[in-house]
Structure 1
Amino acid sequence: MRPPRHARAVLAGLLAGSLLLTACSDDSGDEPDAGGSSSPTAGAGTASASATPYLPVPDGVELTPQGTELEVGEEAVVAYEPRQGRVGVLGIEVQRLERTSFKESFSGWQLDAATKKSNPYFVRATVTNEGDSDLGGMRLQPLYIVDGKNTLIEHSSFASRFDPCPSAPLPKKFGPGKKADVCLVYLAPGKGELTAVSFRPSQEFNPITWTGELQKVKKGGPGKKGAKKSGKSGGGKG
């Protein structure tokens, strides 16, 4: 079954909106670009750990230094403010970078012209709540991909369930110590290339990045069959 007509139309609008936001990120004071404040990239050797964390975190939590470069499979412990006055602390382990195609993973979805000009990618990760705040229902907003033009691209959201890679918020209940496997969908405008995954909560933050080889879409996961069912129930909210 193809998703209902209204669901397909909303999906096209959301994906196009994501492209618009990311394409403008270089010119906006609110959206950070991919490079650090002093240079386009910063290696782990140039990162300096500070005795004082950049955000308040529980005792015993050690944040990964800004500017650290990691490989896929390694974990960073990071802090960000999903809402004003609330600090979230996450352990993020980027596990897999996948390049897919609209034909392979989006069968049955109606996509607009702008979306079709992008390259779709899936990023799979495991996240753990290392703080003391319940982050239930929050999006992983500071986790971007970096394209070949050094632009940050945020992950897309869907009006209904997208089985190949849900790209959904964290579980409704995600308190301290909780762990979840996530898959995020990214669309790189202009056939852009995924060169890194970047944690960058603000313009001033020296990003923490992950790099690794692009893989084919994970075998054994939902494929075209799952995608055709995606219009039956609601899914992630942006």
Structure 2
Amino acid sequence: MSTNTMRRAATGVIGLAVAGTLSLTGCKNGNEEVAPAQSSAPAGQGGQDSAQPSTPASPSADGGQAPAAGQAKPGQTFKIGETAQVPFSSGSTKGAIALTITTVEQGQPADLDSLKLGDKVKGMIPYYIRYSVKNTGTTDLSFASVSHMKGLLPDGSEAQGVSVIGKFEKCKDETLPKGFTNGQTQTSCAIALAPSAQTKVVGAEYWGDPYNNLNDSKGLFWK
């Protein structure tokens, strides 16, 4: 795990403590666990800068490589529905994908009932960040996971997220299927929680490699 990734994880823990939520976990059908995580740092501060740099960032000290020409630059912002060309890395698997946030869809509070989080999500509204992944490289990405997706609130801060281990029919987050070679496409989904009905989730950020281990640690944004 890179230094910046560890810093992001630590920020999430701090955000939970500040919010007074020391433990926000639950189970579904007895064997499916969920683990929400929150970061209160606004995008554009503390590693979430949404400004697009004029030149590509340099490789980081921990081995991360800046995107090549034609690929999305750290901090670049897209409109929802636009596609970013993204270098992809998962463990020893490396390739290239076209990533598109297709919609940010509002759900209903009752959608969360099956996750058994109770009062921990009282008053919160789930939003579903739906996105598509297309293999544009030469590597077979079978069984890789394209995650690292967060919701954004109107003030630029990150929405609380929920990671589900198991199936959640309202928002399926699945690994890429067997035989995910060049030209293959799959849709996926990430859950983001708005703190109230008066505050909406208005965008999304992707911070997978290499966007989570560059020196400036900027992700890609859709608004």
Q: TM-score range by the shorter chain?
A: 0.5 to 0.7
Q: Alpha carbons of 1:154 and 1:140: their partners in 2 closer, same or farther (altered >3 Å)?
A: farther
Pair 1:119-2:125 in alignment: yes
Alignment partner, residue 110 of structure 1: 116
Separation in 2, partners of 1:157, 1:50? 31
Decide whether the 8 Å contact of 2:104 with 2:202 is kept in 1. Answer: no
Pair 1:185-2:195 in alignment: no
- Compute the displacement of 1:196 (Å): 1.9
Alignment partner, residue 34 of structure 1: 43
Q: Which letter does structure 1 place at the counterpart of 2:53?
A: A
- Compute the displacement of 1:209 (Å): 1.0
Separation in 2, partners of 1:114, 1:149? 23
Gaps of 5+ in 2: 1-26
- Compute the displacement of 1:128 (Å): 0.5
Aligned ranges 1:41-60 → 2 under 5 Å? 41-42=50-51, 46-50=52-56, 55=65
Alignment partner, residue 28 of structure 2: 7
- Compute the displacement of 1:65 (Å): 2.4
Decide whether the 8 Å contact of 1:76 with 1:93 is kept in 2. Answer: yes
Q: Alpha carbons of 1:173 and 1:113: their partners in 2 closer, same or farther (altered >3 Å)?
A: farther
Alignment partner, residue 235 of structure 1: none
Separation in 2, partners of 1:111, 1:50? 42
Alignment partner, residue 181 of structure 2: 175
Q: Alpha carbons of 1:157 and 1:133: their partners in 2 closer, same or farther (altered >3 Å)?
A: farther
Gaps of 5+ in 1: 1-5, 27-32, 212-238
Deviations for 1:140-191, whole angstroms, at most 9, x for unmatched residues? 2332222356444575343443222212222244233211122222234577
Alignment partner, residue 209 of structure 1: 221
Q: Alpha carbons of 1:141 and 1:165: their partners in 2 closer, same or farther (altered >3 Å)?
A: closer
Q: Percent identity?
A: 20
Q: Alpha carbons of 1:127 and 1:210: their partners in 2 closer, same or farther (altered >3 Å)?
A: same
Separation in 1, partners of 2:47, 2:166? 40
Alignment partner, residue 67 of structure 1: 75
Higher helix share: 1
- Aligned pair partner of 2:142 in 132, 136, 139: 136
Q: Alpha carbons of 1:66 and 1:160: their partners in 2 closer, same or farther (altered >3 Å)?
A: closer
Q: Alpha carbons of 1:87 and 1:186: their partners in 2 closer, same or farther (altered >3 Å)?
A: same
Alignment partner, residue 29 of structure 1: none
Higher strand share: 2
Q: Which letter does structure 2 place at the counterpart of 1:123?
A: I
Q: Which letter does structure 2 place at the counterpart of 1:68?
A: Q
- Aligned pair partner of 1:82 in 58, 69, 90: 90
- Alignment RMSD (CA, Å): 3.6
Separation in 2, partners of 1:153, 1:82? 24
Decide whether the 8 Å contact of 2:72 with 2:84 is kept in 1. Answer: yes
Q: Alpha carbons of 1:173 and 1:112: their partners in 2 closer, same or farther (altered >3 Å)?
A: farther
Deviations for 1:64-123, whole angstroms, at most 9, x for unmatched residues? 22222211111001124322x4324221111111111122x3465533321334321111
Decide whether the 8 Å contact of 1:55 with 1:87 is kept in 2. Answer: no
Separation in 2, partners of 1:38, 1:205? 5
Q: Alpha carbons of 1:139 and 1:41: their partners in 2 closer, same or farther (altered >3 Å)?
A: same
Number of aligned positions between the proteins = 188
- Aligned pair partner of 1:22 in 21, 24, 38: 38
What TM-score do you get using the length of structure 2 for normalisation?
Answer: 0.65
Separation in 2, partners of 1:177, 1:109? 35
